[in-house]
Amino acid sequence: MATLVSTTLDAIPQSALKIRTALRATFAGGVTRPIEWRQNQLYQLARMAHDERDAICDALQKDLGKPKTEVLAAEVGVVIKRALKSAEKLPQWAEPEHPEVSARQKSWKPTLYRAPKGTVLIISPWNYPMILSFQPLIGAIAAGCTAVLKPSELVPTFSQLLADIVPKYLDSNAFRVVNGYVPETTKLLDLQWDHIFYTGNGKVARIIASAAAKHLTPMTLELGGKSPVIIDSTCDIDLAAKRILWGKCNNAGQICVSPDYVLVQREKQDELIKAFQKHYKAFFPEGALDSPMFGSIVSDLHHKRLTSLLSRTKGEVVLHGRVDPARRRMEPTIVKDVADCDSLLEEELFGPILPIVPVDSLEHAIDFVNARSHPLVLYAFSENESVKQQLVKETQSGNIVFNDTFQQLAVDDLPFGGVGESGYGSQVMKYTYEAFSYLRSSIDMPKEAEPQLAKRYLPRSEEAVKA
């Protein structure tokens, strides 16, 4: 794996402070305030994604073995679309709102302004490094903030590329890429920011939230966890298997919304497995080990973690993924009859392993989900509306998705975020814009309101207080 050069943040501790100070000065100077300036930066960001797409695909092929088609569809294409759409929608988002108030207060002109928070820090992970870096940045630009973007050291070629190309397209006085490892990130976290947007795992989230708490910095935490799939017996099992397997194969299961485990009624388990086997053959006639349509595991450490979890399972492997540790490859692997305390249920799998847990009833599946941390997504396959409503009412998760996996991410107008252990705050388009801005409320009291206000002045009579 390539190593990352911490070019932007050198060894001098003051340099993090210098960068933050410079961005603060830009913000204070009002450069980012005009809507047209923000729109221009969003167009530039879209232009960068378009013009540098080959370099981006090459970098992600090198770092993650990511198929070019997947990078173009799930990262480059989405960034371009959302940057352009945000630019188009921005004037409407930024329009001051006039809330409904009582007739008595109308003349006070109650108004809500969307104000930029200031200078913000974005810390992104390795698994979808482009969309997860630029989606928050699009929101920060739209909101009128200045920002430092700290990409993941686990995708060094890509992160280096960002440091090279971002200054060519965006205003460097307002937006900076800072690369580095934990020490560099720690230096950034020592400083006061006006918002921190972190995407990654819950363990590091606690470190970041503690650093933010020192400065009372507001945060968005986009985390992960184990997203279950509930198979209700009314569903089309064959189609469910196809859609789940497709969702699981994206980025070799290394995505926060990847179906983590399946809960199926005991008597339907074998039918589901047959359907998985059939669709696996159709997706990968030669197997996934050498398929250019299937990605690699990000690091040796994660490859070892996955093979170790698999070696300890008490379940039965029914779709055997071959592994090639030298190339960090692992084929999709399906394990049946997985019990409550199995190794595969210990932690978020974040890889191409799919355990199947047989249950006795829908209520049993609901209890199983509710006994664990709130997932980022709850997937359920059912043709029964009352089952869907029961799941909406009786479970908690950041998102609940019926009859598909992964595709919820394509909806530009839905917020995406977690609850409890899967995080807080949300993103995507308007919701990311809102994360980086705050509602500044205002009234403007007219001179003519004086008779209406007369009773408040001192000395006040008891009658005036009662009235």
If one asks whether residue 127 binds ligand NAD (CB under 6 A), the answer comes out as yes
Least CB distance to ligand NAD at residue 285 (A): 30
* 352 neighbors 269 (Cβ within 8 angstroms): no
Among the listed residues 118, 139, 224, 351, the single contact to ligand NAD using CB under 6 A? 224
Instruction: Mark whether 256 is an active-site residue.
Output: yes
- Max CA separation in the chain (angstroms): 89
Copy the structure tokens of residue 159.
């992160």
CA–CA gap between residue 380 and residue 377 (Å, rounded)? 10
Copy the structure tokens of residue 288.
């996934």
CB atoms under 10 Å from CB of 119, counted, come to 27
Among the listed residues 63, 70, 75, 222, the single contact to ligand NAD using CB under 6 A? 222
Binding segment toward ligand NAD, per CB under 6 A, in 196-204, 338-346, 354-362, 382-390? 196-204
CA–CA gap between residue 179 and residue 185 (Å, rounded)? 8
Copy the structure tokens of residue 121.
């820090």
If one asks whether residue 125 binds ligand NAD (CB under 6 A), the answer comes out as yes
Residue found under tokens 């692992």: 330
Binding segment toward ligand NAD, per CB under 6 A, in 6-14, 18-26, 86-94, 216-224? 216-224
Instruction: Mark whether 249 is an active-site residue.
Output: no
If one asks whether residue 356 binds ligand NAD (CB under 6 A), the answer comes out as no
Radius of gyration of the chain (CA): 25
If one asks whether residue 126 binds ligand NAD (CB under 6 A), the answer comes out as yes
Q: Which residues contact 67 (CB under 8 A, 6 or more apart)?
A: 61, 292, 293, 294, 295
Binding segment toward ligand NAD, per CB under 6 A, in 198-206, 314-322, 352-360, 431-439? 198-206
Q: Which residues contact 164 (CB under 8 A, 6 or more apart)?
A: none
Q: Which of 256, 331, 348, 434 is catalytic?
A: 256
CB atoms under 10 Å from CB of 211, counted, come to 20
Helix, strand, coil content of the chain in percent (nearest 5): 50, 15, 35
Q: Which of 70, 75, 184, 222 is catalytic?
A: 222
If one asks whether residue 150 binds ligand NAD (CB under 6 A), the answer comes out as yes
Name the strands in the sheet holding 227-231, side by side, starting at the edge strand that comes first in the sequence. 316-319, 333-336, 353-359, 259-265, 227-231, 377-381, 399-402
Binding segment toward ligand NAD, per CB under 6 A, in 68-76, 199-207, 243-251, 447-455? 199-207
If one asks whether residue 350 binds ligand NAD (CB under 6 A), the answer comes out as yes
> H helices of 268-339, where?
269-283, 300-311
Contact pattern from residue 403 through residue 422 relative to ligand NAD, giving x for each residue in contact according to CB under 6 A and a dash for the rest: ---------------x----
If one asks whether residue 132 binds ligand NAD (CB under 6 A), the answer comes out as yes
Residue found under tokens 């378009």: 50
If one asks whether residue 375 binds ligand NAD (CB under 6 A), the answer comes out as no
Copy the structure tokens of residue 273.
């497995």
If one asks whether residue 223 binds ligand NAD (CB under 6 A), the answer comes out as yes
If one asks whether residue 200 binds ligand NAD (CB under 6 A), the answer comes out as yes
If one asks whether residue 207 binds ligand NAD (CB under 6 A), the answer comes out as yes
Among the listed residues 8, 41, 124, 399, the single contact to ligand NAD using CB under 6 A? 124
Find the residue with minimal CB distance to ligand NAD.
Answer: 224
Q: Which residues contact 202 (CB under 8 A, 6 or more apart)?
A: 223, 224, 225, 421
Contact pattern from residue 242 through residue 281 relative to ligand NAD, giving x for each residue in contact according to CB under 6 A and a dash for the rest: --------------x-------------------------
If one asks whether residue 185 binds ligand NAD (CB under 6 A), the answer comes out as yes
If one asks whether residue 65 binds ligand NAD (CB under 6 A), the answer comes out as no
* 381 neighbors 235 (Cβ within 8 angstroms): yes
What are the CA-CA distances from residue 201 to residues 224, 247, 279, 332, 417 (Å)?
6, 20, 31, 23, 14
Which H or E run includes 442?
Answer: strand 437-442
If one asks whether residue 159 binds ligand NAD (CB under 6 A), the answer comes out as no
If one asks whether residue 163 binds ligand NAD (CB under 6 A), the answer comes out as no
If one asks whether residue 432 binds ligand NAD (CB under 6 A), the answer comes out as no
Among the listed residues 199, 220, 373, 399, the single contact to ligand NAD using CB under 6 A? 199
If one asks whether residue 204 binds ligand NAD (CB under 6 A), the answer comes out as yes
Least CB distance to ligand NAD at residue 420 (A): 13
Q: For residue 235, what is the DSSP state?
A: S
φ/ψ (deg, to 5) at 261: -150, 160
Instruction: Supply the residues annotated as catalytic.
Output: 222, 256
Residues that bind ligand NAD (CB under 6 A): 123-127, 132, 150, 152-154, 182, 185-186, 199-201, 204, 207-208, 222-224, 256, 348, 350, 376, 418, 423
